[in-house]
Amino acid sequence: MMELFATTAFLFCAALFAFLLAINRVRLYNKLKEPNNNLCATENTCCGEIKLQNGELPAGKLPTRKPPARMPTVMPSDKKAKKVVPLSVNYHFTRKCNYKCGFCFHTAKTSFVLPLDDAKRGLELLKNAGMKKINFSGGEPFIVKKGAFVGELVKFCKQTLGVESVSIVSNGSLVSERWFEKYGEFLDILAVSCDSFDADTNEKIGRQQGQKSHLISLRSVRRLCADYKVAFKLNTVVNTHNKDENMVEEIMQLNPCRWKVFQCLLIDGENTGPDALRRAESFVITNAEFDEFLRRHKDVEYLVPESNEKMQKSYLILDEYMRFLDCTKGAKEHSRSVLDVGVENALNFSGFDEKMFFKRGGKYVWSKADMQLDW
């Protein structure tokens, strides 16, 4: 009797289960026929889609829902972009110059110079953001208040901010011994631009003022640097007028701590294009001509060459308003001033390639306290 009851109960449960399963299949089938349903009813089997066979679901298979249409296939990385540190900054605080170099790519389009206190405030912001080297350039830095403006900035950066390296790039024509007496101890490096050791070539380039000899000014600054223990550096722009010159002997005599050799660079709006103050197209040389100049001077151990690619991407340049300049597209696109938006925000618009900076040797022994120089 008990066995009969158990058998009957088992058959009843099995029948009930089959009935419920059939109802569920009917409901699903009706759902598939509804417009804009979220169930797959195609011949594809990807993403769990099931094909209807003669209007029926395949035995043993239930359809699955499509994934959300906008679900990302790759989850975003939680890694943050590496923060750029303004390790070395070039501050072109003036565009005015007493020379008229034909290839100049930072021309006198304005006469603006920040008030001294504002410039100091910006430099402090940069130091707090990680700046270890500041280079003052122009234009001609010594043209503003006869060098007193750049002198006060040099003193402030070294004495007050404790910046590791403070340097200036100048044409050398306005540098005096009186300036060295007052500010020389605070300056690590003074770089002078010299593109030729031939007076006629310098005149063709525009690297002089009136009849004053650029080469005499160059050698005078070299002597002052030695007398006041400031590291002397030399900058040369290779162009059509000097590309065949051999400067080895003269460079060796001057014995700079570094000799930066640049390839002439075109910047739209500065030395090329309808709005430019210079027309440098005739000064441009080929990569092969630049390489040949470098081969001719390969025995100069302190030669540091910089092609156009390296120049455009690897410098942090501030203009006279303390705006970073992005030159990567062949023109100068500026950020907002660090005085208005801060250093980190402005850096986002600098176009700076940190890897290229290190590749070109942008970080070197740049404090005169660490240099082993024979003064």
Q: Give catalytic residue positions.
A: 97, 101, 104
d(CA 26, CA 7): 29
Helices (H) and strands (E) in the chain, counts: 12, 10
β-strand pairing of 303-306 with 317-318: unpaired
> CA-CA distances (angstroms) from residue 308 to 95, 312, 315, 319, 327?
21, 6, 12, 20, 11
Token code pair at residue 319: 């203009």
| Host H or E run for residue 323 | strand 323-326
Q: What are the angstrom distances between the C-alpha of 45 and each of 24, 50, 119?
A: 22, 6, 67
Length of the chain: 375
Helix residue spans in the chain (DSSP H)? 2-33, 116-128, 148-155, 177-183, 199-205, 214-227, 248-254, 287-296, 308-313, 338-341, 343-347, 354-359
134 beta partners: 89, 166
Amino acid code (one letter) for 54: N
- Give the contacts of 261 (CB within 8 A, at least 6 positions apart): 236, 238, 293, 294, 297, 303, 304, 305, 306
Written as one letter, the residue type at 212 is K
* Half-sphere exposure in the Cβ direction for 239 (13 Å, CA): 25
CA dihedral 244, 249, 253, 259 (to 10 degrees): 40
User: 53 forms bridges with which residues in the sheet?
Assistant: 56
